[in-house]
Amino acid sequence: MSPVTRIQLLPGVHLTAVHTTKFKSSLLSVTLLAPLSGDTAAANALIPYLLRRGCQAHPDLESVSAALDQLYGGSLEPAVRKKGELQCVGFVGSFLDDAYSLDGSPILEAATELMGQLLLDPVTEGGTFSQAYTQQEKEHLIDRIRGEVNDKRSYASLRVVQEMCAQEPYGVSRFGSEAQVASLTPEKVWERYQTLLATAPVELYYCGTAEPQRVAESFRKALSGLPRTGSFQLPACLVPADAAQVRRVEESLDVAQGKLTLGFRTGGITAASPEYPALMLCNALFGGTTTSRLFLHVREELSLCYYASSVLHKYKGIMVVSSGVEFADAPRAEEEILRQLEVCRRGEFEPWEVEGGRRSLISALRTLLDSQSRQEDYWLGQVIHGLTEGPEELAARLEHVTVEQAVAAAQTLRLDTVYFLKGVQA
Amino acid sequence: MSMEEIKYSKVGENVFTTTLPNGLPVLVMKKEGFQKSFAFFATNYGGMDMRFQLDGQWLDTPAGVAHYLEHKTFDTEDGNALQDLAANGASPNAFTSTSFTGYFFESTEKFEENLRILLSFVSIPWYTQESVDKEQGIIGQEIRMGDDEADTQVFYGMLEGLYAHSPIQVNIAGTVESISHITAETLNLCHRAFYDPANMVLCVAGDVDPERVAALAEEILPKEGHPPVERDYGEPEPDRANKPLWEREMAVSTPIFQLGFKDVPPAKGEAWLRWELTGDLAMEALLGTSSPLYARLYGEGLVDSNFSYGCEAYPGAAFLCAGGESRDPEAVRDAVQAEIRRVAQEGLDEALFQRLKRAGYGGLVRGLNSLENLCINQAQANFCGYDYLTFPEVFASIEKKDVEDCIRRAMTEERTTLAVIRPKEGPQA
């Protein structure tokens, strides 16, 4: 097991460091946290992309790239994520481990320095962000928002959540809305940036061969210019347990295959709940794996869909089922998906299904330790929700979940919204 | 079963290797400290291998048969191997590419049992007409889903633009029509032709016992292989692109494009690896994220951070390509062509070239973190006649001139094609 260290570096600034020698690279990230809100989401999302354009020491894209090339082709990319009802904006970087540099020179210190420069010393123009960079990054962000429709499968999953949580912060897109992005000016974004720097809780992450103290020291040095004033408190996520009545939303696009997505509330169960492992097993049995009811019955036995699967939004307490079907088959597919859920609620599982689901979940948690980026994403979600449970501890809890507990979790699921993306002619 | 141990000290990898009497190469990458083990069992047979000679007879098989075979190979006399592996907690899957088909699993427990299942179901055909017929619906849906994927469509569009007849431009999954001709008999023929130990490779990475891996393969697989099957990819391709522009409309928000450059295919062996590494460097130098051109295109809003590029080589076909979303793909093509002309004339900037080599080396080494990546690269290298982990030496020997030669040779106007998918007017969500 890789030891995980958590250190407070500055007020509201914490480092999570995973010490391991099995990778040839190190992974670093810096993340500013803000409540997800329609008023600020667009500006928050724009900030890392703007900062990535250049800093005082490396004032344009080409020179930032040159600095990264010098660090053996390290990457340092803007990251905008939604975890529960928090918006997480910052950078994720991957760098060659010191052991493999051609001249033996350390890479970690140079990498954190570059990260600090990009975060704290942007190129400015008249005391705010550059007019040209702001305009260009606004256009790119709008393209990114519009581009969500291009992948129909993930688009349908996004849309069902948006519709379902229209009255909750969770319904806000991680990028904000197109209209909000369009209304941003360099001054407005600059003001938001200053607010974030001073008041946002900051999460730092490192995974690699360096000792945590060395990592802490190099981050402390790189972030010494960070102003810190604020209480660094974040609001809790709203978790409605039930759905009043099923909402139905249909949209048309010129597509060949329909996408049917169903959003469920999990009865208040989230990653923080004692029942969470039971909900995980329930999801695995229902639609989370290739031995699940949705895969084996809706896809394989009935050939109704090319894919039919379910995923949990663990911090929000939502389960989303998504499937790709012929337009005319959608009613049958929905009926069959709900029928399989009833089977789960009655607990009609074969022993091999239960053990297969459990083994697959445990294996997925263990293999998370073999991927630096998956580990980073896991820990970010955990620490910002005040959770300390690691993948191995969660795996240990899964070993003891009973069929009855998984069935009890299935019984808490309430269908909230059905979204169907159909063709123009349908 | 004794194995040869090869140490690649520069990149810190140890590989145990042997070739079984039936002709199957086995490569085991010892990875200590990893939770999972990854096994990859592949055949040198993909979407492009439609015409071949078996028992002295030339056979033409329908487009999509290699992929169909991949789906149905999971069927066993007792059920389905996908479920057997999943029930053991392994994550199994498979894919069919243009030139090869790979079956794999990762698991954190019961590795030997899982490897046994993998080797058995891939090598023992069990195709019934009933199950072959049933698969039509599932694969039909997969093809329909691909029809809506603009990235997939524009890529095939670029291949159509580049190639007059090479089978690499045929959709790997086939069409709803072409797969309707596939029967259990077709699958049995193709399995016999290509799922032969001598035409396959087994790559394993993880904290495993290399000799046990080879011993299991020897125990389970057929004892003898047969001579390689002759394949026909048609006449050699002309140097020039088939057509300069390929266009289509789809329900997308922004135009999506791929710009392709048709090169001369490399010979098998180290030349193949050298071609790939040189091609990657050429693309980096010309339009990669640290190039002056990329900074300009990005600044003008002509490309975004999803812009990506690379190069691919297949038997009889090799190309370099770049693509993504752009509101004006023709402007991107024109700017790239102007930069090609400039580089062809003035040569590359020496400092840029040195930086890119340093960056490229780091990227290749970082790629070794992924057991999947490592096994798939090793397998592909084996089919193309080289050893993947020799990349540090080959990469170090590439000179600025080699990259410039590649740009001058492969990226002329007549070898270039642009494929574009433009937004279709109509109801939007």
Residue A426, burial from CB neighbour count under 10 angstroms (0-12, 13-18, 19+): middle
Q: Per DSSP, which regions of B277-337 are E strands?
A: 308-314, 317-325
Question: B425: pLDDT confidence band, cut at 50, 70 and 90?
Answer: confident
B220 CA to chain A: closest CA distance, Å? 25
pLDDT digits (tens, 9 = 90+) for B379-403: 999 999 999 999 999 999 999 999 9
At A251, list the tokens. Answer: 């949209």
Q: Is the Cβ pair B12, A99 closer than 8 Å?
A: yes
State the DSSP H helix or E strand holding residue A266, giving kind and residue range, or none if neither.
Answer: none
Indicate which of B9, B11, B253, B303 best probes the interface with A, i.e. most A CBs within 10 Å of its own CB.
B253
pLDDT tens string A248-275:
999 999 888 899 999 999 999 999 999 9
Arithmetic mean of pLDDT, A107-131: 96
Question: pLDDT, tens digit, for every residue of A14-52?
Answer: 999 999 999 999 999 999 999 999 999 999 999 999 999
Check residue A425 and give its pLDDT: 67
Specify whether the CB–CB gap between A279 and A266 falls below 8 A. Answer: yes
Q: How far is A406 from chain B (nearest CA, A)?
A: 18
A85 pLDDT higher than 50? yes
User: In whole angstroms, what separates CA B94 from the centre of its chain?
Assistant: 13
CA B52 to chain CA centroid, nearest Å:
21
pLDDT higher than 80, residue B428: no
**CA-angle at B152, arms to B309 and B143, nearest 5°:** 160
**What pLDDT is recorded for position A304?**
80
Q: Is the pLDDT of residue A1 over 80?
A: no
- Cβ-defined contact of A370 to B371 (cutoff 8 Å): yes
Burial label for B177, CB within 10 Å (0-12, 13-18, 19+), is exposed
Q: Which of B107, B256, B291 sits opposite A363 (nearest CB)?
A: B107
Q: What is the mean pLDDT of chain B?
A: 95
Q: What is the mean pLDDT of residues A127-137?
A: 95
| pLDDT tens per residue, range B174-210 | 999 999 999 999 999 999 999 999 999 999 999 999 9
Q: Which residues contact A149 (CB under 8 A, 6 or more apart)?
A: A155, A253, B251, B252, B253, B428, B429
d(CA B47, CA B70): 11
Amino acid identity, position A104: G
Which two three-digit tokens encode residue B26? 């086995």
pLDDT tens for residues B167-182? Answer: 999 999 999 999 999 9
- Predicted complex ipTM exceeds 0.90: no
- In 10 A of CB A99, how many CB atoms? 12
Q: Are the C-beta atoms of residues B173 and B139 closer than 8 Å to each other?
A: yes
Strands A13-19 and A202-208: parallel
**pLDDT per residue over B347-360, tens digit each?**
999 999 999 999 99
User: Residues B291-296: contacts with CB within 8 Å, 24+ apart?
Assistant: B291/A62, B291/B352, B292/A62, B293/B335, B293/B336, B293/B339, B294/A61, B295/A60, B295/A61, B295/A62, B295/A65, B296/B335
Across A172-176, A182-186, B76-80, least confident range = B76-80
Contact A370 B92 (CB under 8 A): no
- Average pLDDT of chain A is 94
The rounded radius of gyration (Å) of the Cα atoms in chain A is 23
Q: Is B176 on the interface with A (CB under 8 A)?
A: no
Tokens 């002709």 sit on residue: B23
pLDDT bucket at B429, cuts 50 / 70 / 90: very low
Cβ distance of A257 and B298 shorter than 8 Å: no
Residue A303: its chain B contacts at CB < 8 A? 134, 137-138, 141
- What is the reported pLDDT for A2? 66
Quick one: what percent of chain A has pLDDT higher than 70? 99
Task: Quote the percentage of chain A above a pLDDT of 90.
Answer: 86
Name the pLDDT band for A426 (thresholds 50, 70, 90).
Answer: very low
Rounded CA-CA distance B345/B257 in Å is 27
Helix (H), strand (E) at residue B389? none
